[in-house]
Amino acid sequence: MMFPTDWSAARAFSLLSLLLLALSSAPPCSADVVDGGRLFPAGVRYEYESTTTVLAGGSADNRDPEVGHRVVGRLSVENLWPATDAADEKLLRLHFKSLKFQTWSKKSKNDINRQFIDRKSRIDRFSDQPFFAHWRNGHIENLYASSANSLTEENFKKGIAGLFQFQLSNQHTIEYSTLGKCNVTYEKINENSVSKRIDGCVLPTTLPPEIKHPDKIWQGTLRSKREGLLIYNQESFTDMSLEENHEYRTSFMNEVGASISSKQHIELKETKQNGDIVKANSFEEAINQLEKQLKLKLEKQNLSPKHEAKNCKHYNLCNKFNDVVKKYHDSLLDSELGKSKSAYAAIKVIDAIENSDTETIKKVLSDKKNKDIVTQLYDLLGAALNENSHKASMETLVFTDAKNVEQIERYLWSASIKFNPKIEIIKSLMSITDEKLTNKKVMDTLFNTVTAMASRLDRYNHTDTNALLCGELVIRTLERLEKCKQDDDECILTYIRALSNLKHPLSIEVLLSFAQHGNRMTSAYAMKTIKMFGPSLWNSRVLKYCNQIFFQLVKEQDSSTRVIALAILLESDPDYDLLKHVVKWLATPSEGYEIKQYALELLKEMANQNETSARLLRTVLVREKLNHYGNMAQRGLSSCFSRKFINYNNITGLVKNSQQIYSGVTKRGSVDIVLEHENVKYDLCSFGMFTTGLGYFTSLYDDSGKKDTSDEANLPATAGLELIVFGVHIRPFIMFSSQGQLMGHIWAGTGSDKTPIIQGISQMIEHLEYVPLSNGITAELNVKGTLSLDISGQIEMSLWNKNAQSIIEKNGGISIQGSLKLDTDLVTDEVDFALNTEGLLHMHSDAEFATKIVLCMQIYFVDTNVTTTVRKNQKVHGLSYKSYTTTTRTHPVSGRTFALNQMVNEFCNTIHSQ
């Protein structure tokens, strides 16, 4: 009867044995800690050969010989403190010996055969003292070191200490190092090796603030890759490497950019027994004993790198503003505007402005030698827009002086485009708007500038303070708009343009009211402003009003207002019923055929840009049996289309043309340059023209149909130009505002010579980014881009021959310049890259009006070149040694002409055949 009891005891013993065996073979709760903890046992010194290499060069598509350097030496590593209660804590002693500085030789053009050669350098000043790291659970908690002779030395030691952060099992963790706070993934390859991948790094707080344009197209792309390999035995690492590659490219060309590669590598060479062991009950006690033993004061530090402010002020090598202006004087003349030459010079001058004080800037502005470029200098002061440049501008510009109008407006236009203006500067300009300025042009431009700057500040740096300022300006603008007299179109349009810059939902209701109840001019401007707001603010109420305005459900509306309302409807994912009603409306006999022609063009453009809407339109035409001549074969001159002129590097460039014709004359037209990048549209520039009351031509035009019953033909003869640059509304330029002024221009031949319409230089790209490397060096990426704009026109008219010819030239010179710099006390490695090009868009028109209007219009881009340059520089400090290489490439870009429509082509054939 004892058998069951013995059997139970045996079974219990067996189960206990199996449990103990399972526990002994199962991984502990923190296997990585135990595994990592077994490396670097106390009392053993490990000698490594250490190599830290840095190379800098062009982008992947411009791989010419790189510049670079490396630091080699002997690194000893030992654990001084055998922690008794935790194998997951160590006191590592790190000591460098026989450090050498080397640069990459240029003697061989074959990179495979290139070698590093020794150079005398300031590395001899590095301290020979060891430094210490607190290792816990695979992380370096802190670094303990005596005072370094330079920040370069201090950061270098932090980079070496960071190598000894490791885990030996598969896991994801967060590590703090010279890279900042990073996500790190460890993957076990085999029993003796582990891979390490680093990504998602958040920059160390010790680095200065960065400057990044919120629109990606102006930022460019920085791609980074950081990977390491750890090979170990039972005691220590036998080989450890950490490689990283960073490549920056502009959004416009792959060839324009720079790259950095860095590699840290240590290889075990010797193992020695060592009796240097610190006996202490805690880590703090161990550090205190070391300080007494070494007679050193050990400073506790984390691994965040300290920023080495190696700018031109540090080296006392800043280019003086006066010298830079003198050097680039001829490039800034009026004759060079619209060319890449002036855009290139502008960046150099902006850099000098940013390093100049107020008094220096004022002296250059008042120098008589700069009298012929002083207006361009105000452009560049507005582009720099810092405290000193703004103060100098405010102290030299007199807003009540008629002689300063051009310079004031040029400064304000340039400042309005700045994407990150300072709130103090905005408030400074706001205070001027409270003054009673007699010059309406200046007041218009000033208010547009303030509203544009406040809007950009709120959108790109949204804080409670910035939002409050923007909201205050919206209310102030609405209040001023309300005080305008009903017949004072100039006053009303000033504040509607300000609302277009603010793009605030609070203004929607007021704009809708003007669109539906205003006169022909204010209603069109209000509707155009709503369209500029974009789909994000087109709610159901906006679409309801657009429907009422286009179909004239409440009252008769101006044709310009109606077609803008229709454009909003068609860009808002129109439904079946809307498209059906619009197509049926095309057959309405009581409507003027030019507006029907324009509406048809909008339908075609919608179908070209939106495949979903295109399929829906085809369905409507088939189901409703509307696809016939009466609807789809209008005969007007009005046109609306877009054509591609760039399709490269994930960027699409579009030219959008819109011409609304009234009785043979352009009533309202525009040519827009739009860039698309990653499905986001960026409005680069919009050039518009408007006219009224050109009755002489109207009387000649035979529309063979219903006459327009509006007061269009009875309005005074006016013509003007509108410009929107980077989304900022510029005040219109009036060419003439009466029949008398028009005839005066004709008889005097005023426009027979090429006449500037608007000129200026503005900054479109400003980018400052820091790229910390695992070796402790921080690379600085600095990119600037400017646009030099020259829009001019020329018209010749003969009342005797009854013909006219005109040309409008939109010339834009673009320069993008950047640098990727690694600047330390030892060496400066730098890659400078640049892109220079010109965009020349010309609009030619020929008209004959002997018996009837025949109008030929041509839009085309002129042949141009894109020039890219990459320059690599190296300077070893303390020596006269310098090295540089320069590579320049030219890419031809063929011009092209854009077809408008069949009727215009026929007119062109008729005129040119004569």
CA 217/CA 649 separation, integer angstroms: 11
Give the number of other CB atoms < 10 A from CB of residue 79: 25
Q: Looking at residue 8, what is its pLDDT?
A: 41
Q: What is the pLDDT of residues 584-636, one digit of tens each?
A: 999 888 888 889 999 999 999 999 988 999 999 999 999 999 888 878 888 88
Q: How far apart are CA 617 and CA 611, in angstroms?
A: 10
The predicted structure's pLDDT at residue 19: 36
721 pLDDT band, cuts 50/70/90, is confident
Q: Give residue 46's Cα distance to chain centre.
A: 49
Hey, what's the torsion of the CAs at 703, 708, 714, 718, to 10 degrees? -70
pLDDT of residue 584: 94
Distances (CA, A) of 150 to 410, 516, 825: 46, 70, 7
Q: What is the mean pLDDT of residues 294-309?
A: 90
- Going by pLDDT thresholds of 50, 70 and 90, the confidence category of residue 752 is low
Select from 902, 907, 899 the least CA-distant residue to 860.
899
| Token code pair at residue 62 | 């411009």
Q: Dihedral sign, CA of 446, 722, 804, 700?
A: negative
3-state SS, residue 675: strand
How many beta carbons lie within 10 A of that of residue 27, not counting itself?
Answer: 10
pLDDT band at 314 (very low <50, low <70, confident <90, very high): low
Of residues 725 and 74, which shows the higher confidence score? 74
Say what the pLDDT of residue 26 is: 37
pLDDT band at 647 (very low <50, low <70, confident <90, very high): confident
Q: How confident is the model at residue 61 (pLDDT cuts 50, 70, 90)?
A: low
- Residue 12 in this model has a pLDDT that exceeds 60: no
- Range 130-144 burial, b when 16+ CB lie within 10 A, else e: bbbbbbbbbbbebbb
Please state the pTM of the whole predicted model.
0.88
Q: What is the pLDDT of residues 790-845, one digit of tens each?
A: 988 887 777 777 777 888 889 999 999 999 999 999 999 999 999 999 988 888 88
d(CA 367, CA 349): 16
Interval 230-256 mean pLDDT? 92
Q: 681 - beta bridge partners?
A: 676
pLDDT beyond 50 at 709:
no
Q: Are 644 and 905 in contact (CB under 8 A)?
A: no
In eight-state DSSP terms, residue 211 is B
Instruction: Tell me the chain's radius of gyration from C-alpha atoms.
Output: 35
Beta bridge partners of 877: none
Q: Choose the weakest-confidence range: 248-257, 384-393, 660-669.
A: 660-669
Number of H helices, E strands in the chain: 27, 27
Structure-token pair, residue 700 = 């000649």
Which spans in 235-357 are helix H? 283-294, 312-315, 321-327, 340-354
Q: Which two tokens stand for residue 622?
A: 């088939």
Strand partners, 504: none
Strands 827-848 and 257-273, how do they pair? unpaired
The C-alpha atoms of residue 432 and residue 436 are separated, in whole angstroms, by 8
Give CA–CA dist 645/653, Å, rounded: 5
Question: What was the pLDDT predicted at 274?
Answer: 80
| Measured distance CA(248)–CA(208) in Å, rounded | 20
Measured in residues, the chain has a length of 914
Of the candidate ranges 344-358, 399-413, 573-587, 707-721, the one whose mean pLDDT is the lowest? 707-721
Q: What is the average pLDDT score of the chain?
A: 87
**Confidence band for 2, pLDDT divided at 50, 70 and 90:** very low
Sign of the Cα torsion 247, 248, 252, 253 reads negative
Pair of tokens at residue 811: 């010339």
Are the beta carbons of 877 and 912 closer than 8 angstroms? no
pLDDT for 858 equals 83
Q: Please, what's the b/e burial string for 269-297 (b: 16 or more CB within 10 A of its CB; e: otherwise)? A: eeeeebeeebebeebeebbeebeeeeebe
Of residues 419 and 527, the one with the higher pLDDT is 527
Confidence of residue 23 (pLDDT cuts 50, 70, 90): very low
User: Hey, which of 314-323, 622-631, 664-673, 776-785 has the most confident mean pLDDT?
Assistant: 776-785
Residue 695: its pLDDT value, please? 56
Phi/psi of residue 746, nearest 5 degrees: -65, -50
**Alpha-helix runs per DSSP H in 718-877:** 739-748
| Residue corresponding to tokens 């816990």 | 136
pLDDT band at 4 (very low <50, low <70, confident <90, very high): very low
User: 374 vs 282, 751, 784, CA distance in Å?
Assistant: 69, 26, 22
* Mean per-residue pLDDT, 237-243: 96
Burial class (CB within 10 angstroms; exposed 0-12, middle 13-18, buried 19+) of 800: exposed
% of the chain residues with pLDDT over 70: 90
User: What's the pLDDT score for residue 835?
Assistant: 93
pLDDT on residue 615: 94
Structure tokens at 61: 């598509």
Output DSSP code: residue 124: G
Residue 543 in contact with residue 567, Cβ under 8 Å?
no
Structure tokens at 109: 């053009």
Token pair for 55: 């190379």
Tens-digit pLDDT profile for residues 867-907: 999 999 999 988 887 888 888 999 898 888 877 767 777 77
pLDDT-derived band at 432 (thresholds 50, 70, 90) equals very high
**pLDDT of 758 above 90:** no
Whether residue 25 is predicted with pLDDT greater than 60 in this model: the reply is no
